[in-house]
Structure 1
């Protein structure tokens, strides 16, 4: 029998009706200029309300949109904001719901990676949920491997990602925002420094710099081992989209691809 993790932030972080949500996500994706090149192996994307971070998330998901028919599995990693979780946990569900329908969870992959369930950590968590409608629109056949956590060593998270790495059928998506509630110029400077560290492949970020540092650091650990090229796609904050510049939240999408693919681009 299926167990479904219900949508917790539909109607607040993103539209609650299927028709409006489809139109919103498609509009955000269509607004991104098409860039030729190989499909990224991994994305780092923001997870605020779509009015704030939707355009920045779309700039990353649009890069995999042309390859969506070959993506059958998405490893989705985000921070647990509401429940402290050492390591990574799954929701203990077989399906994840959004207004666009349900996505199947790859429970066999979770079991093979030794991931324990923690329904409470996922129940009201938005960091993974806000990425799901984008995944449904760009890779509608993909199963999800949903992982949330608060604190873990980069190597421990990296080893889980390596185990789930797969081939071109598997996309890694890391969900994170950057600095929070700083004046615009200060936040911009800190976020630029954070991005420089990520592009340089330094797995040393703290949660104060990026709430999803648990996933970023793990992915960076793997990227160094696999010699992946890291590309900054965009860098904006809520002050650039729909918010005041008195206190802003930073957003940055990043793509990572195999070194061989980078040489072809």
Structure 2
């Protein structure tokens, strides 16, 4: 039998997070304990399980020094409310342009980070490819993509390597396409008996000449925040149509808007009626730099109380 292929870590090489295991653990713990931008404490696995599960969420994917404290809010929520993970469907941004509207890959049986190897739920991937024509298999879309990989160390810190992933990246997405993928994911999870959490990996507005997107000439940090809050308002109300209309109206640079749209539609299918904003800030609030400003948000979706 051929040795299963392991996707090599890329985000660590590009300095999104430390490549050394101990330094990575320290970095993650700093994200959690950051009192100004992070939750201010370490997660206690399963401590709030009685509150019910997290169905899905949104987390950023920039370097840990910038967006890590924001992402930590979502992972604290998941870690404390979901004692045991089965399969995590992570929908990232397709920065490479390879593949189709939604792209997964069977090329890798495991994904590596400095904290170990995470297995792919290949049965789930195969079902997606056979049931949902919008999903294609293209390894090139995943070889140099960081948006999925940067989520893994947070999950590994809490759960070890005792969970599997379904890696998907999204390009330009219409409402019907988001609904189709969400329905396929829900149907497959039910048929395979998987208790899944879906994570949409996305940053918010990228503002500045470097990004080719300049709407504001003054008060950039505050104005980017106001713009992002327009998007977030639609997300929290699970109004996917309004969210996508806003993306088009502002020609927005929310890189993972397609992933977010799928998370919203999946959450509606799972009985959620609204989202919860756990934290928002932008890079300008961290650095004071208005030339390049990127927004970060951590959002969770949970079922409505019965």
TM-score, with length taken from structure 2: 0.79
Deviations 1:44-73 (A, max 9, x none): 000001111000000110112235541121
Please state if 1:135 is matched with 2:161.
no
**3-state SS of paired residue (1:145):** strand
How far apart are the structure 1 equivalents of 2:70 and 2:205?
Answer: 15
Q: 178, 181, 200: which is aligned to 2:204?
A: 178
How much does 1:226 deviate?
A: 3.5
* Residue in structure 1 matched with residue 252 of structure 2 by the alignment: 208
Write the distance in 2 (CA, Å) between the matches of 1:168 and 1:94: 18
1:58 and 2:79 aligned: no
Bigger mean CA deviation after superposition, 96-105 or 200-209: 200-209
2:279 corresponds to which of 231, 234, 244: 234
1:39 aligned residue (53, 58, 66): 53
1:250 CA drift (Å): 0.4
Match of 1:75 in 2: 89
For CA contacts below 8 A with separation 6 or more, give which structure has more relative contact order. Answer: 1
In structure 2, C-alpha distance between the alignment counterparts of 1:144 and 1:58, rounded to whole Å: 19
Counterparts of 1:59-208 in structure 2, within 5 Å, are 59-67=73-81, 69-91=83-105, 92-114=107-129, 115-140=135-160, 141-152=162-173, 153-166=177-190, 169-182=195-208, 183-204=220-241, 205=244, 206=247, 208=252
- Kindly state the Cα deviation for residue 117 of structure 1 after the two structures are TM-superposed: 2.2
Contact kept in structure 1, 2:12 and 2:18, CA below 8 Å:
yes
Q: Closer, same or farther in 2 for the Cα pair 1:133/1:98, shift >3 Å? A: same
Structure 2 CA distance, aligned partners of 1:25 and 1:172?
A: 21
Contact 1:56 1:253 (C-alpha < 8 Å) held by counterparts: yes
Q: 1:235 to 1:111 in 2, by over 3 A?
A: same
Rounded Cα–Cα distance in structure 1 between residues aligned with 2:188 and 2:290: 40
Q: 1:217 to 1:116 in 2, by over 3 A?
A: same
8 Å contact kept, 2:205–2:224: yes
- Which position in structure 1 is the counterpart of 2:30? 27
Q: CA deviation at 1:241?
A: 2.5
Instruction: Answer yes or no: is 1:4 the counterpart of 2:31.
Output: no
The 1-side partners of 2:77 and 2:269 are apart by 23
8 Å contact 1:53–1:241 — kept in the other structure?
Answer: no
Q: Distance in 2 between matches of 1:69 and 1:226?
A: 19
Q: TM-score, normalised by structure 1?
A: 0.90
- Structure 1 segments, 4+ long, off by >4 Å, are 33-36, 164-168
| Farther off after superposition, 148-157 or 173-182 | 148-157
Unaligned runs of 5+ in 2: 42-46, 130-134, 209-219
Cα distance in structure 2, aligned partners of 1:8 and 1:123: 8
Residue 113 of structure 1 aligns to a residue in which SS? Answer: helix
1:141-179 per-residue CA deviation (whole Å, 9 max, x = no partner) reads 111111112123222222233234457832111100110
Give the aligned CA root-mean-square deviation in angstroms.
Answer: 2.1
> Structure 1: any 5+ residue segments left out of the alignment?
none
Instruction: Give yes or no for contact 2:59–2:201 (8 Å, CA) kept in 1.
Output: yes
